[in-house]
Structure 1
Amino acid sequence: MNFANIKFKVVKDLFCYSSIFITVYTGIINNKIVHAQILSPTPIDDIYAQNIRDPDIIGPTNPNYNITDPNITEQTNPNPGNIIKSCLIGCQEIKGSETNIIKPNSSILQIDPTPELKFTSSFINQLNLPIQEEVNVNIFQARDIAHKIEKAVGVKPAFIYISFVPGEIAPNSVSGNYQNNTIKVQEQTTDEIEIILVTGKGNTNRYRLPHVNRGKIDQVITDLKTQITAPQYRNRNSYLKPAQKLHNWIIKPIESDLQKYKIDNLVFLLDAGLRSTPMAALHDGKQFLVEKYSIGLMPSLTLTNTLYTDIKNSEILAMGISKSTQGQAPLPAVPTELRTLVNKLWSGKLLLNEQTTLENLKSIRSQKPFGIIHLATHANFLGGEVDNSYIQLWENKLRFHQIRELGLHKPPAEMLVISACRSALGDEKAEIGFAGLAILAGVKTSVASLWSVDDTGTAALMTKFYQSLKTSPIRADALRQAQISMATGKVYLENGQLQGIEGIGSLTLPEKSIRETNQSLSHPYFWSGFTMVGNPW
Structure 2
Amino acid sequence: MLRLTHLFLTLACLALPARAEEVPFDYPHMPGAAQEFYETARAGEPTAAYNYVLPLFSETGLTDAERRQMTGWLRAAYNGYDHGDATGVLYAAMAAKLLTTLYSELAEHSFALGWANLCIEALGERWEEQEANLTLGQCLEAAAVALNELSRYGEAIEHAGLARQVYKVFAEDDPLRDFYVANTLMLEANALDGLKRHREAIGVSEDALEIFERMEGAESASVAAITANIGASYWYLKELEPARDWSLRALPLLDRHWGPHSYAPAVVRVNLGLIAFDMGEDEKAMRYAVEILPYIATNPRSSLNNQRWTFELMRNIFARRGQVEKAILFGKMAVNAQQEIRALNQSLPEEDTEGLRAEWSRLYRDLADLMIAEGRFSEAQAVLNMEKEQEAFEFLRRDGEAELRDTVAVLTDSEKSDAEKLAELALRPVEARAAWETLSARLAAGGGTAEEEDQLFLLEDAMAEANAAFEAEVEEFLTAVSFDRRAGFAALFDATGAYQSILEARERPSAILQLAMLDDATHLFLTLPGATVHEQVAVPREEMNRMVFDALQAIEARSPEAQARLHALHEVLFAPIRPALETAGTEVVMVNADGVLRYVPFAALHDGSRYLVEDFAFALYVAAVQTQFSRPPRASESAAGFGVTEAHEGFSALPGVASELETLFTAADGEGVLAGQALLDGAFDTRALRRALRDPPELLHIASHFALRPGRDDDSFLLLGDGTRLPLSELRSSKFRFTGVDLLTLSACQTARGGDGSEIDGFGAAALMGGASAVLASLWPVADAATPILMRDFYAGLYQRGEDKAEALRRAQIAMLHGAGAGEAPGESANRAATALKAGPSAGAVSDFAHPYFWSAFVLMGNWL
Alignment of 1:111-126 (within 5 A): 115=489, 117-119=490-492
Give yes or no for the alignment of 1:141 onto 2:498.
Answer: yes
Alignment of 1:443-482 (within 5 A): 443-470=772-799, 471-482=801-812
Partner of 1:380: 707
What is the alpha-carbon root mean square deviation over aligned residues?
Answer: 2.7
1: distance between equivalents of 2:736 and 2:789? 26
User: What is the deviation of 1:229?
Assistant: 0.8
User: Given the superposition, is the C-alpha separation of residues 365 and 409 from structure 1 closer, same or farther in structure 2, using an over 3 Å criterion?
Assistant: closer
Partner of 1:215: 542
User: What is the deviation of 1:491?
Assistant: 0.6
**Alignment-mate amino acid for residue 204 of structure 1:** T
Secondary structure, counterpart of 2:677 in structure 1: strand
The answer to whether the 8 Å contact 1:195/1:207 transfers is yes
Q: Which structure shows the bigger proportion of residues in strand conformation?
A: 1
User: What is the deviation of 1:206?
Assistant: 1.4
**Alignment-mate amino acid for residue 163 of structure 1:** A
1: distance between equivalents of 2:635 and 2:587? 24
Secondary structure, counterpart of 2:854 in structure 1: coil
Task: Tell which deviates more after alignment, 332-341 or 386-395.
Answer: 386-395
Q: What whole-Å deviation, never above 9, does each CA across 1:107-141 have from its counterpart, x for those lacking one?
A: xxxxxx974x4338xxxxxxxxxxxxxxxx52212
Q: 1:308 aligns with which of 630, 654, 658?
A: 630
1: distance between equivalents of 2:626 and 2:602? 20
2: distance between equivalents of 1:499 and 1:347? 15
1: distance between equivalents of 2:579 and 2:851? 28
2: distance between equivalents of 1:441 and 1:457? 29
The answer to whether the 8 Å contact 1:304/1:439 transfers is no
1: distance between equivalents of 2:629 and 2:784? 33
Partner of 2:621: 298
Partner of 1:230: 557
2: distance between equivalents of 1:526 and 1:363? 33
Give yes or no for the alignment of 1:433 onto 2:766.
Answer: no
Aligned residues: 358
User: What is the deviation of 1:369?
Assistant: 2.7
Secondary structure, counterpart of 2:548 in structure 1: helix
2: distance between equivalents of 1:401 and 1:148? 35
Partner of 2:509: 156
The answer to whether the 8 Å contact 2:588/2:617 transfers is yes
2: distance between equivalents of 1:473 and 1:161? 25
User: What is the deviation of 1:149?
Assistant: 1.7
Partner of 2:689: 361
User: What is the deviation of 1:364?
Assistant: 3.5
Q: What whole-Å deviation, never above 9, does each CA across 1:186-229 have from its counterpart, x for those lacking one?
A: xxxx4311111112x232221122x2221222221122112111
Q: 2:650 aligns with which of 327, 332, 338?
A: 327
The answer to whether the 8 Å contact 2:779/2:859 transfers is yes
User: What is the deviation of 1:385?
Assistant: 2.8
User: Given the superposition, is the C-alpha separation of residues 430 and 114 from structure 1 closer, same or farther in structure 2, using an over 3 Å criterion?
Assistant: closer
Partner of 2:603: 280
**Alignment-mate amino acid for residue 162 of structure 1:** L
Alignment of 1:73-88 (within 5 A): none
User: Given the superposition, is the C-alpha separation of residues 212 and 500 from structure 1 closer, same or farther in structure 2, using an over 3 Å criterion?
Assistant: farther
User: Given the superposition, is the C-alpha separation of residues 321 and 406 from structure 1 closer, same or farther in structure 2, using an over 3 Å criterion?
Assistant: farther
2: distance between equivalents of 1:241 and 1:464? 28
Give the number of the structure whose alpha-carbon radius of gyration is greater: 2
**Alignment-mate amino acid for residue 479 of structure 1:** L
Q: What whole-Å deviation, never above 9, does each CA across 1:148-205 have from its counterpart, x for those lacking one?
A: 122xxxx12111110023xxxxxxxxxxxxxxxxxxxxxxxx4311111112x23222
The answer to whether the 8 Å contact 2:629/2:864 transfers is no
**Alignment-mate amino acid for residue 708 of structure 2:** F
Alignment of 1:13-32 (within 5 A): none
**Alignment-mate amino acid for residue 421 of structure 1:** C
Partner of 1:392: 719
Secondary structure, counterpart of 1:253 in structure 2: helix
Q: What whole-Å deviation, never above 9, does each CA across 1:259-281 have from its counterpart, x for those lacking one?
A: 11111001111111211122111
Partner of 1:535: 863
Partner of 1:246: 569
> What fraction of aligned residue pairs are identical, expressed as a percent?
27
Q: What whole-Å deviation, never above 9, does each CA across 1:286-340 have from its counterpart, x for those lacking one?
A: 111111111111221x513232123522511101111112332111121221122
Give yes or no for the alignment of 1:491 onto 2:820.
Answer: yes
The answer to whether the 8 Å contact 2:764/2:776 transfers is no
**Alignment-mate amino acid for residue 221 of structure 1:** V
2: distance between equivalents of 1:306 and 1:424? 20
Q: 2:581 aligns with which of 231, 255, 258?
A: 258
The answer to whether the 8 Å contact 2:751/2:762 transfers is no
2: distance between equivalents of 1:438 and 1:288? 29
**Alignment-mate amino acid for residue 197 of structure 1:** L
User: What is the deviation of 1:482?
Assistant: 1.0
Partner of 1:202: 530
Partner of 1:442: 771
The answer to whether the 8 Å contact 1:446/1:534 transfers is yes
2: distance between equivalents of 1:462 and 1:424? 16
User: What is the deviation of 1:523?
Assistant: 0.6
1: distance between equivalents of 2:857 and 2:753? 11
Secondary structure, counterpart of 2:852 in structure 1: coil
User: What is the deviation of 1:472?
Assistant: 4.4
**Alignment-mate amino acid for residue 119 of structure 1:** L
User: Given the superposition, is the C-alpha separation of residues 250 and 372 from structure 1 closer, same or farther in structure 2, using an over 3 Å criterion?
Assistant: same
1: distance between equivalents of 2:756 and 2:497? 30
Secondary structure, counterpart of 2:608 in structure 1: coil
Q: What whole-Å deviation, never above 9, does each CA across 1:319-375 have from its counterpart, x for those lacking one?
A: 111111233211112122112212020221111110111211222442x43111110
Secondary structure, counterpart of 1:536 in structure 2: coil
Give yes or no for the alignment of 1:501 onto 2:501.
Answer: no
1: distance between equivalents of 2:831 and 2:743? 23
User: What is the deviation of 1:530?
Assistant: 0.8
User: Given the superposition, is the C-alpha separation of residues 469 and 311 from structure 1 closer, same or farther in structure 2, using an over 3 Å criterion?
Assistant: same
Output the TM-score relative to the length of structure 2. 0.39
Greater relative contact order (Cα < 8 A, sep 6+)? 1
1: distance between equivalents of 2:779 and 2:707? 10
Q: What whole-Å deviation, never above 9, does each CA across 1:52-106 have from its counterpart, x for those lacking one?
A: xxxxxxxxxxxxxxxxxxxxxxxxxxxxxxxxxxxxxxxxxxxxxxxxxxxxxxx
